[in-house]
Structure 1
């Protein structure tokens, strides 16, 4: 997951996403379709999350309902 993230961030596409984050209007004026790039970012993010969830399920063999508790939702926010 880390390797895929590094490849995406260091690519041309990753630089466009950083430009959108910093100044969306300027990126639009440079000719980039910001909506399509944002949509693609959400799709890439969802794919990475799905792959991580599948790896977790394969590793532990079971994903119970307790995994969707508030505690597991808040912990990643506290780490950042």
Structure 2
């Protein structure tokens, strides 16, 4: 699984560094740093577009224009 450090916004403060980030009931990453309602989270790229939560807070990824994320592919085979 590819992972990236992604800026996120939390709907409520309180998720401490080290808190697991969950998507669809599975761990999708970890909070690395927080400042109020802003945080940096190491996230699996396949989870960035899912509903993300950490310690009861909803996370909203803030993908910056300069961030180049690979597009998910539906094919699991290799070319």
The answer to whether TM tops 0.5 is: no
- The structure with more radius of gyration: 1
TM (normalized to structure 2)?
0.23
Which structure: greater strand fraction?
2
Which structure: greater helix fraction?
1
